[in-house]
Structure 1
């Protein structure tokens, strides 16, 4: 049986960081300027004692409750996170226990960011269509705020914390997964990374993360914005073409495009470059920010809620970013 997306839910921490909050810290940036540049008004921020597994459990519980999913029916768990609770054990093992899933389930972590949802869907499809599993739960959960230097406005204005849960199954539910494609360019790894905190610390060349009056907490997220923008403009159009070619479709055959919700400036540039009509290009980050691995599934859930995504529609998903890594697919909703 082909693998299909059954349903999607998401969970956001209650703490928030608004543009008004940021303006108090960075008076040279007005509320309107931040909103215009990023497309974001509010970001949800995990509490000091709130971590990826907590958000993951919240998203999983939301999926079970909102869609009347029987926990016992899940036979594999994938947790996609780049901010795990621990080096070991695997966060998926912690989440399996806290969600009350059967001990017969498989449970693994996927350490990918902006492309992680696509890679996780590909893994779920392989597990189901090879007969290893029937119902796979994918949970994305990231708390990038814990990596962000409070004085670094370029990343603090963009990233928010959040989690999503998706059930992928083979039991005749709405959305099939097609034309999955991937891409990797590790030569650009240095452009978006946390150089401290792992076993290989103090990566050479990242003193720029602490430029100005910033004082490092030892775990600062470094992002070279221009390099990430150039990478995105380079790989996204060709990736869209590659996905469409693999599916034997044209751009006009796609009802809705849902990309990684990086920031509005980047997305609008891509939309115009690809010549996609606004009503077929879904953007949803105003109240969440860039939630990394969760941005696409949150956008999908919001598209359903807002009526932009309806049964029978063909959707192209594309994630891109940290790694450098990218991936995309087409699904029938």
Structure 2
């Protein structure tokens, strides 16, 4: 048995935050400056009564409707989110019931951000290739904008909300997911943190994350990101990860037809593309209308690549996620 990606789709909440909206609130940042720094023109924002389970359910429904998938065929559900509705129960249990999946379905959450899609695919592959199940539904869903202080323009320009759903299924003998690599450096946990709302004060880990230390009035969560630290971490781990994925896949860079990385921001992605020497036509970017949707950036980009004709059957695609944790992971998919 071998696992493959059979279908992917996504859902975005209807409310939109544009660069014009942000420039009106922060006149010192023009529309052009925001677009140049981030590559983002607009981001979708979850409403006051719209949470990760809502987005996850809508993404699953889109996958089922657009790809003719029977919910009763799902044997296992993995929900990747860092913004769960509740501490308990798990978001996966809520989504299982709302999607009408059988009560014989296994369901679990994993709490990873930018690398989460890769980790979820790795777990799905393990469940299938160990003979436990044949069909796994992987859903990524995050509402990071609920964590952001409204006066913190440095992160409001970057993050958007969204969810994506992927069906991973038994492909028989053909090997379709290879070269899986993982990495973790918890020493960098302080670089991206929500200091409030958990059981332990975040200031103990990262004193700079205190909202008042950033001249902000605390609002309940107050996400903190050390942009330079994240950027330097990315430049260090991504090239090494690409080499490791190719080595484990027994492939060369020329064998890869398309690269789909975590869509952090356009400046970082372009820097990585040039550093790796990847031609622009083989490096897919889908940021402009979405923003950084954390765990959903890669599956959203995959969906867009298919719709735009950039990703076709038989192509080899390298997927690579990196960020909060600090955590990273990558693999090669034969589409």
Give yes or no for TM over 0.5: yes
Kept in 1: contact 2:136–2:167 (CA 8 A): yes
1:87 maps onto 2:67 in alignment? no
Q: Deviation at 1:175?
A: 8.2
Q: Which range moves more in the overlay, 199-208 or 2-11?
A: 199-208
- The residue number in structure 2 matching 1:61 is 61
1:188 maps onto 2:203 in alignment? no
SS at match of 1:326: strand
Q: Which range moves more in the overlay, 34-43 or 193-202?
A: 193-202
RMSD of aligned alpha carbons:
1.3
What's the CA shift string for 1:113-150, capped at 9, x where partnerless?
Answer: 00000000000000000011110000000000000011
Q: Deviation at 1:258?
A: 0.3
Structure 1 ranges of 4+ moved more than 4 A? 171-175
SS at match of 1:29: coil
What is the TM-score normalised by the length of structure 1? 0.98
Given the superposition, is the C-alpha separation of residues 27 and 308 from structure 1 closer, same or farther in structure 2, using an over 3 Å criterion? same
- Counterpart Cα distance in 1 of 2:234 and 2:165: 26
User: Which 5+ residue runs of structure 2 have no aligned equivalent?
Assistant: none
- Counterpart Cα distance in 2 of 1:166 and 1:58: 13
1:302 maps onto 2:304 in alignment? yes
- Counterpart Cα distance in 2 of 1:23 and 1:174: 51
- Counterpart Cα distance in 2 of 1:280 and 1:13: 29
- The residue number in structure 2 matching 1:261 is 263
- The residue number in structure 2 matching 1:272 is 274
Kept in 2: contact 1:10–1:62 (CA 8 A): yes
What is the number of equivalent residue pairs in this alignment? 333
- The residue number in structure 1 matching 2:120 is 120
Given the superposition, is the C-alpha separation of residues 72 and 109 from structure 1 closer, same or farther in structure 2, using an over 3 Å criterion? same
- The residue number in structure 2 matching 1:223 is 225
Q: Deviation at 1:199?
A: 1.0
Kept in 1: contact 2:193–2:202 (CA 8 A): no
Q: Deviation at 1:218?
A: 2.4
- Counterpart Cα distance in 2 of 1:50 and 1:56: 11
Kept in 1: contact 2:2–2:173 (CA 8 A): no
Kept in 2: contact 1:174–1:332 (CA 8 A): no
Q: Deviation at 1:25?
A: 0.8
- 1:308-319 map, 5 Å: 308-319=310-321
Q: Deviation at 1:209?
A: 4.3
- The residue number in structure 1 matching 2:197 is 197
User: Which 5+ residue runs of structure 1 have no aligned equivalent?
Assistant: none
Q: Which range moves more in the overlay, 195-204 or 78-87?
A: 195-204
What's the CA shift string for 1:128-182, capped at 9, x where partnerless?
Answer: 0001111000000000000001111110000000000000000459981101000
Q: Which range moves more in the overlay, 284-293 or 202-211?
A: 202-211
SS at match of 2:203: coil
What's the CA shift string for 1:171-198, capped at 9, x where partnerless?
Answer: 4599811010000000000000101111
- Counterpart Cα distance in 1 of 2:227 and 2:211: 12
Q: Deviation at 1:210?
A: 3.8
- The residue number in structure 1 matching 2:328 is 326
- The residue number in structure 2 matching 1:238 is 240
SS at match of 1:206: helix
